[in-house]
């Protein structure tokens, strides 16, 4: 499939918007709740995977509300460290990385965020033919430790394909 052309203005505005959303998420997602979502942190999928219902719901609702802070296309998911990889923990939207099993290699941008900094990356979503811009930011608990990463992402060709498919 031929790569679509990316408009420089769309690219710049998308990054600015995603950075604002990532900043909000980084502040508003309750890191203490987030780190307690999986009942057994050693399990990340399969029949025995369980979550703390209340904490999961609290994080999910926060993420869904954050998406509404800005107009325009946006998707949002969260990651936690899982062994030497990162595991999707509370997604709102579909992402190029599969949620089951949700552990994937840590990208440089995710690694930065796990170190406490915000970072930007571009991703391909070949199946949907959609280049994606993504901003990763840390999730901190009340001790100020980084306990996860929030990733906010959007299509760079929103006139053709969007990542947000939950706005009914």
Rounded Cα gap, residues 67 and 55, in angstroms: 19
| Two tokens, residue 141 | 């608990």
**Considering the rule CB under 8 A, would residue 69 count as an interface residue with another protein?**
no
Q: Which part of the chain contacts another protein (CB under 8 A), choosing from 6-14, 59-67, 111-119, 136-144?
A: 59-67
Considering only 12, 53, 117, 160, the residue that binds another protein (CB under 8 A) is 53
Kindly give, in sequence order, each residue whose CB lies less than 8 Å from that of residue 11, ignoring residues fewer than 6 positions away: 133, 156
Considering only 91, 131, 138, 148, the residue that binds another protein (CB under 8 A) is 91
E strand or H helix at 32:
helix 31-35
| Two tokens, residue 47 | 């029949």
Residues 117-156 that bind another protein (CB under 8 A): none
Q: Which part of the chain contacts another protein (CB under 8 A), choosing from 23-31, 53-61, 105-113, 144-152?
A: 53-61
Rounded Cα gap, residues 58 and 122, in angstroms: 29
**Considering the rule CB under 8 A, would residue 50 count as an interface residue with another protein?**
yes
Please choose, from the candidates 82, 74, 99, the residue with its C-alpha nearest in 3D space to the C-alpha of residue 14: 74
Q: Which is nearer to another protein, 76 or 118 (CB)?
A: 76
End-to-end alpha-carbon separation of the chain, Å? Answer: 29
Q: Is 111 helix (H, G, I), strand (E, B) or coil?
A: helix
Considering only 90, 150, 152, 154, the residue that binds another protein (CB under 8 A) is 90
Number of residues that bind another protein (CB under 8 A): 28
Using CB under 8 A, list all residues that contact another protein.
45-53, 56-57, 60-61, 64-65, 88-94, 99-100, 102, 165-166, 168
């Amino acid at each position: 499939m031929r790569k679509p052309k990316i408009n420089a203005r769309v690219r710049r505005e998308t990054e600015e918007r995603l950075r604002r959303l990532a900043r909000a998420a980084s502040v508003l997602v309750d890191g203490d709740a987030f780190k307690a979502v999986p009942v057994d942190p050693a399990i990340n999928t399969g029949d025995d995977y369980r979550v703390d219902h209340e904490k999961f719901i609290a994080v999910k609702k926060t993420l869904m509300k954050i998406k509404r802070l800005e107009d325009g296309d946006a998707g949002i998911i969260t990651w936690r460290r899982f062994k030497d990889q990162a595991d999707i923990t509370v997604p709102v939207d579909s992402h190029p990385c599969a949620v089951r099993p949700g552990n994937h290699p840590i990208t440089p941008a995710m690694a930065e965020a796990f170190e406490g900094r915000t970072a930007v990356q571009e991703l391909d979503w070949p199946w949907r033919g959609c280049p994606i811009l993504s901003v990763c930011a840390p999730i901190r608990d009340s001790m100020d430790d980084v306990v996860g990463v929030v990733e906010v992402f959007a299509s760079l060709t929103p006139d053709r394909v969007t990542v947000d498919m939950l706005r009914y």
